[in-house]
Amino acid sequence: MNDAAGVKKLLRDRHHISSAQFHGDYNAVDTLIDLHSAIASAGLTDKQAESIAWVYGVDLTQADAAAQMGVTRQTVKQSVDEAAEKIAAVYRKWNYGGIDVEYPLDEETTEDNEMEAA
């Protein structure tokens, strides 16, 4: 969680983690509470928060999020990157360390997200 890449993985897996909490995974509950606190504490701009919400909350591609927001895909990518770094900075401040989250992901979704990051 101490770097932007770890934060992006956590954001990407948030729905799977959320599902796990309903199966008695209390670590999932703690992880989600901490994530929401980190997001709230990160001082995101409106555009960064909106980009995170579309890309990771609604699971849109960066291109689709850009269309919804009326900006370019590059603007969404930059906003997501900056937001992830700000959230990672909060985790570093908390001395949070790392967490291991293993949830099976839809192969197509993973490939789409990897292509978006390129």
Tell me if 67 is assigned to some domain.
yes
Tell me if 113 is assigned to some domain.
no
CATH number, domain containing residue 23 = 1.10.10
pTM, 2 dp: 0.80
What is the rounded distance in angstroms from the CA atom of residue 117 to the CA atom of residue 112? 9
| Residue 110, pLDDT score | 47
Give the structural domain span for 31. Answer: 4-95
| Residue 2, pLDDT score | 83
Tell me if 25 is assigned to some domain.
yes
pLDDT digits (tens, 9 = 90+) for 16-73: 999 998 888 999 999 999 999 999 999 999 999 999 999 999 999 999 999 999 999 9
Nearest 5°: CA angle at 76, between 108 and 4?
75
11 closest CA partner among 118, 92, 105: 105
99 closest CA partner among 20, 38, 9: 9
Tell me if 70 is assigned to some domain.
yes
**Number of domains the chain contains:** 1
Assess whether pLDDT exceeds 70 at residue 104: no
